[in-house]
Amino acid sequence: MAMTEIIKQLEKEILQQREDEQRILNEIAAVASLDFAQRAAGVLDPKKHFYGFEAYLILLDNLEVLLYAGMPDDLALESVQCGYDAETILAMWRLSKV
């Protein structure tokens, strides 16, 4: 594979990741608020942590799942940072409400 092809593929992947980020943030804003979505993006920003952009997208996706399940905004944001998947977090949250 030529260097130009590799660069084009990387650019395509970066563009796709940014589109995924925007889509998830729009969903978070729809279920919570635009302010919360922006705050979540800032808190989870991979530049501030030891994880890459793909892990950031997974955290945002988990956050979206938690919010749609009815978890309060701030608790959901705090919970996704523990590293567990959304289903595990939801199971623990539901057990704590019993």
pLDDT tens, position by position, 33-84: 999 999 999 999 999 999 999 999 999 999 999 999 999 999 999 999 998 9
Q: Which amino acid is at 97?
A: K
Tokens 């959304």: give the residue.
Answer: 86
Q: Is the pLDDT of residue 20 over 90?
A: yes
Instruction: Write down the pTM of the prediction.
Output: 0.89
Task: Enumerate the domain spans of the chain.
Answer: 3-96
Extract the tokens encoding 6.
Answer: 């590799």
DSSP secondary structure letter of residue 70: T
Task: Report d(CA 44, CA 32) in Å as an integer.
Answer: 16
